[in-house]
C-alpha cells in the first residue's frame, strides 16, 4: 500500500492523520486493532476529495462513522480507515421535511423531529449512530424505520463525486439496504407526517425509557449482535439458549438483553467473536439461522 501517497493527501487537505491509531478508541464496544492508516477529514469537502483520491489509487480502506455497531480484529489490519464523523454537518428543516448531512447524530435528528411534532421516527428515541449509518442499515425500532421517511440520498460516488438520488433508486429491507453498494452516504432528505405533538412526544419518551430499561446503552456495547429472525426476537431466542449474561474473557452478552454484546473490560476480538459464533451455532442447532447486524472488520 502506498502509505506515503495517503500521508501526503491528508496533509494537503488538512485532515487528521495517523498510522498507529487503535480503532478501539473509536468503537463504542472498544475492540479493534490498528489500520494501515487513519484519516479524519474536518469537512465534507475534504471527505469527498479524500474518497475520490483513495478510489483513484485503488487503495483498500473502510469508512467509519459513529462506531456504534462495530468491532474489528485486534492487531494490524490490512486496510486504511476514513473516519467521517463530526464534520460540521447540518440539518435544514422546511415544513415537514429535512435535509441532513450524514454525520448528524440520529438522536439529534429524531429529537428535533419530535420537538416539531412530526411522526415517523419517534419510536427510535435513544438509538445511537449517525444519519449515514442509519440510512445504510435502515435503522429502526418500535414500528419505525428510516425507509418509512427517507425520500432522497446524497452519495459520494467513485469517479463522479457527490450526486443526489431518489430513495426509490435503492432497495430497503429489514435492517438492511443496498445503498453502500453505490457510494458513501453524505446526506439524506426525509419527509415526516404531522400528528398530535403530545402523543408523539409521549411515544418518544416511552421508547427511550423502554430502551434504557432493557438495553445496556450505558455500557461499552455494539448494540444488537444479530438481526431478529422472521417472526421472533434474537434476544428472546438467545436468552432461552442460556446466553443472557454469558461471558468469555472480558466479552459477554448483557445481563439486560441477550442480544447485546458488552465489553466488560479488556475484551479481545478472539473472545468476543468466538462467543458470538458460539451463540450463532447454538441457534442454528435449534433450527434458527441468525444473521449479524453488528459489522465485523477483519
CATH number assigned to the domain with residue range 91-198, chosen from the 4 options 3.30.9.10, 3.30.465.10, 3.20.19.10, 3.20.20.80: 3.30.465.10
* pLDDT over 90 at 2, yes or no: no
Q: Does domain 3-83 have CATH number 3.40.50.80?
A: no
SS3 221: strand
SS3 263: strand
Catalytic residue status for 224: yes
- Active-site residue, selected from the candidate residues 175, 236, 247, 248: 175
pLDDT of residue 298: 93
pLDDT of residue 55: 97
Catalytic residue status for 175: yes
- The mean pLDDT of 254-267, rounded to a whole number, is 97
Please tell me the distance from the alpha carbon of residue 67 to that of residue 25, in angstroms, as a whole number: 9
Helix axes 3-13, 44-56, angle to 10 degrees: 160
Burial of 250 (0-12, 13-18, 19+ CB in 10 A): middle
Q: Please, where are the H alpha helices in 94-196?
A: 106-115, 131-137
**Number of residues assigned to the chain:** 298
Measuring CA to CA, which residue among 235, 231, 232 is closest to residue 221? 235
Confidence of residue 126 (pLDDT cuts 50, 70, 90): confident
Please tell me the distance from the alpha carbon of residue 109 to that of residue 66, in angstroms, as a whole number: 15
* pLDDT over 90 at 269, yes or no: yes
Q: Please, where are the H alpha helices in 57-182?
A: 106-115, 131-137
CA distances from 273 to 31, 136, 159, 251, 292 (A): 10, 23, 36, 9, 11
pLDDT of residue 125: 86
Measuring CA to CA, which residue among 2, 31, 27 is closest to residue 270? 31
- The mean pLDDT of 275-289, rounded to a whole number, is 98
Q: What percent of the chain clears pLDDT 70, i.e. is strictly above it? A: 100
Strand (E) or helix (H) holding 202: helix 197-214
- The mean pLDDT of 256-272, rounded to a whole number, is 97
Strand (E) or helix (H) holding 283: helix 269-285
CATH code, residues 216-297: 3.90.78.10
- Active-site residue, selected from the candidate residues 68, 113, 177, 224: 224
Measuring CA to CA, which residue among 104, 108, 89 is closest to residue 43? 89
Can you give the residue ranges of every domain in the chain? 3-83, 91-198, 216-297
* pLDDT over 80 at 127, yes or no: yes
* pLDDT over 80 at 1, yes or no: no
pLDDT, one tens digit per residue, over 53-89 is 999 999 999 999 999 999 999 999 999 999 999 999 9
- Active-site residue, selected from the candidate residues 21, 34, 49, 293: 293
Residue 292 backbone dihedrals phi, psi, to 5 degrees: -65, 135
pLDDT of residue 24: 97
pLDDT, one tens digit per residue, over 178-223 is 999 999 999 999 999 999 999 999 999 999 999 889 999 889 999 9
Which residues is 94 bridged to in the sheet? 97
The chain-wide mean pLDDT, for the chain, equals 96
Which residues is 161 bridged to in the sheet? 157
Please tell me the distance from the alpha carbon of residue 292 to that of residue 202, in angstroms, as a whole number: 32
pLDDT of residue 217: 84
Contact between residue 68 and residue 224 where contact means Cβ atoms under 8 Å apart: no
Amino acid at each position: 500500500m502506498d502509505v506515503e501517497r495517503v500521508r501526503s493527501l491528508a496533509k494537503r487537505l488538512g485532515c487528521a492523520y495517523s498510522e498507529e491509531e487503535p480503532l478501539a478508541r473509536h468503537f463504542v464496544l472498544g475492540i479493534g486493532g490498528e489500520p494501515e492508516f487513519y484519516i479524519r477529514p474536518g469537512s465534507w469537502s475534504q471527505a469527498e476529495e479524500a474518497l475520490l483520491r483513495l478510489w483513484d489509487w485503488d487503495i483498500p480502506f473502510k469508512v467509519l462513522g459513529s462506531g456504534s455497531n462495530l468491532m474489528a480484529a485486534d492487531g494490524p489490519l490490512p486496510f486504511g480507515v476514513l473516519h467521517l464523523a463530526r464534520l460540521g454537518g447540518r440539518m435544514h428543516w422546511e415544513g415537514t421535511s429535512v435535509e441532513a448531512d450524514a454525520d448528524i447524530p440520529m438522536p439529534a435528528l429524531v429529537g428535533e423531529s419530535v420537538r416539531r411534532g412530526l411522526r415517523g421516527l419517534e419510536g427510535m428515541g435513544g438509538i445511537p449512530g449517525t444519519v449515514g449509518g442509519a440510512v445504510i442499515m435502515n435503522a429502526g425500532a418500535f414500528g419505525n424505520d428510516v425507509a418509512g421517511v427517507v425520500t432522497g440520498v446524497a452519495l459520494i460516488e467513485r469517479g463522479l463525486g457527490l450526486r443526489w438520488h431518489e430513495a426509490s433508486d435503492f432497495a430497503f429491507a429489514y435492517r438492511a439496504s443496498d445503498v453502500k453498494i453505490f457510494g458513501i452516504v453524505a446526506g439524506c432528505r426525509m419527509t415526516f407526517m404531522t400528528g398530535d405533538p403530545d402523543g408523539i412526544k409521549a411515544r418518544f419518551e416511552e421508547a427511550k425509557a423502554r430502551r434504557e430499561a432493557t438495553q445496556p446503552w450505558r455500557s461499552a456495547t455494539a448494540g444488537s449482535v444479530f438481526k431478529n429472525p422472521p417472526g421472533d426476537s434474537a434476544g428472546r431466542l438467545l436468552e432461552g439458549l442460556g446466553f443472557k449474561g454469558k461471558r468469555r474473557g472480558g466479552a459477554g452478552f448483557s445481563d439486560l438483553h441477550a442480544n447485546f454484546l458488552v465489553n466488560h473490560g479488556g475484551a479481545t476480538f478472539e473472545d468476543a467473536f468466538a462467543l458470538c459464533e458460539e451463540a450463532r451455532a447454538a441457534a442454528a442447532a435449534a433450527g434458527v439461522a441468525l444473521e449479524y447486524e453488528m459489522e465485523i472488520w477483519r
